[in-house]
Amino acid sequence: MRPPLDVSKVRAILIVVWTTIFLESISIGEGARGTVLLHRIANTAASKSMTRRRNVAYYGNISIGTPPQHFTACFDTGSADLWMPSDSCQSASCAAHQQYVQRNSTTFEGTDGVFFIEYGTGAVEGTTVYDSLQLAEPLINIERQGFGLADQASITFAVASCDGLFGLAFPALSKQGVAPPFFNMLQERLLDAPEFSIWLNKDTREGVFPAGELLLGGINPARYSGELQYHQVIGTRYWQLELSGIKVAGKGVSSLKSKGVILDSGASLIFASTQDADTINKAIPGMVFWEEAGLYNVTGGCAAVPSLPPLTFTIDSVDYTLSPQQYILQLPEDDPAYCISAVMGGGTQQYLVLGNSFMRSYYAVFSVGAAFNGSRVGLAPST
């Protein structure tokens, strides 16, 4: 008798096969490269100053439809989907942002597809649709881009810095069943090279512009020093790399469970499993657990930060070091009594998430290979 069909295994195989075919079909055309300058400011709709400061994200401007409707998008290497709030969404999360009006676009195409995406800070659901997409300078125009039209969003997004998300991870991670915008650009041969790069400004004061830069189709040598060190991507969904170890003041931290790291521009901090976060923070002299907040605080307050040791992440045997000023946050920014570690729990045991606390220190190039196992990430110190 034939054994029962394992649907989950079949789906996993199909994802790998589809991704392989998709990436092998990419050819470089006589395209271009385009720059999106990023802002970094918290949405003032947040009622508490602590919430505003924690909710800061990097975002840029995009346009959807004909004539163009203008939005702000948070560019997220940790997810793969583009979505914007629909004018049919009545929740507070949607009302706080610019909403897409489908009847106002002559190039809108509806579908029967639905989507649900759960993030670490909330969830959205709605329908999958198509329309034109424009972004960057010089302008990159995608004539037909699939994206999500959110008709429900959790209250968390009401205080988000941007109207919606612009995923930059691999197609296999998509919940919408359409090519993410960057990969659509590759299919349409709109870019010079199958890569994008991200620079985040080390100056995090509110109002500093540009707060960052997303370059589609190339690399900006002015944004980094030294040579780029390239690392092969593990898997087919995330920009995940192999973690060789972590060091504090040059000494290895033992008993870590995580074996990989994910570069995630949509995460503000560095996330690990609760166990690994405890292990890392306890290895840093001068850090003490603040039970009321569930965070690690610097003993002696912010004045003691310069005396803390460097924190090093070793990726494929290459060391990437953060100074204490880079892995410690002052929250709130006007209270020198509270400086906390950017390494926080709540993640998975399989990998660490290296968010903006790491990416502000290192310029990152995300390069798509000719097959799903040929992609790489290049890292070099940011200027």
Helix (H, G, I), strand (E, B), or coil: what is residue 54? helix
Quickly state the pLDDT bin for 16 (edges 50, 70, 90): very low
Catalytic position from the list 81, 151, 264, 276: 264
pLDDT, one tens digit per residue, over 50-69 is 333 444 689 999 999 999 99
Alpha helices by DSSP H, listed for the chain, are 7-24, 49-54, 92-95, 181-187, 274-282, 324-327, 356-359
Q: Which CATH class is domain 30-216?
A: mainly beta
For all residues of the chain together, what is the average pLDDT? Answer: 89
pLDDT, one tens digit per residue, over 248-303 is 999 999 999 999 999 999 999 999 999 999 999 999 999 999 999 899 999 999 99
Give the residue with greater pLDDT, 50 vs 221. Answer: 221
How many Cα atoms are found within 13 Å in the side-chain-facing hemisphere of 64? Answer: 28
- What is the location of CATH 2.40.70.10 in the chain? 30-216, 224-381
Can 163 be counted among the known catalytic residues?
Answer: no
Under DSSP, the state recorded for 148 is: E
The CA distances from residue 209 to 60, 213, 225, 287, 332, in Å, are 11, 10, 21, 33, 22
* 318-322 and 311-315 beta bridge pairing: antiparallel
Can 87 be counted among the known catalytic residues?
Answer: no
The mean-pLDDT minimum among 116-125, 183-192, 280-289, 309-318 falls in 116-125
pLDDT, one tens digit per residue, over 138-164 is 999 999 999 999 999 987 888 888 999
Residue pair 327/265 in contact (Cβ under 8 Å)? The answer is: no
- Confidence (pTM): 0.90
Give the residue with greater pLDDT, 337 vs 256. Answer: 256
Under DSSP, the state recorded for 4 is: P
Residues whose CB is less than 8 angstroms from the CB of residue 82 and which lie 6 or more positions away in sequence, other chains included: 73, 133, 145, 146, 147, 148, 164, 165, 166, 167, 180, 181
Superfamily of domain 224-381: Acid Proteases (2.40.70.10)
Quickly state the pLDDT bin for 363 (edges 50, 70, 90): very high
Would you state the pLDDT for residue 42?
Answer: 53
Tell me: pLDDT of 45 over 60: no
Would you state the pLDDT for residue 17?
Answer: 42
* Residue at 263: amino acid letter: L
- 271 closest CA partner among 325, 346, 332, 165: 346
Residue pair 195/34 in contact (Cβ under 8 Å)? The answer is: no
Structure token digits, residue 32: 């271009």
Tell me: pLDDT of 204 over 80: yes
Quickly state the pLDDT bin for 21 (edges 50, 70, 90): very low
Radius of gyration of the chain from its Cα atoms, rounded to whole angstroms:
21
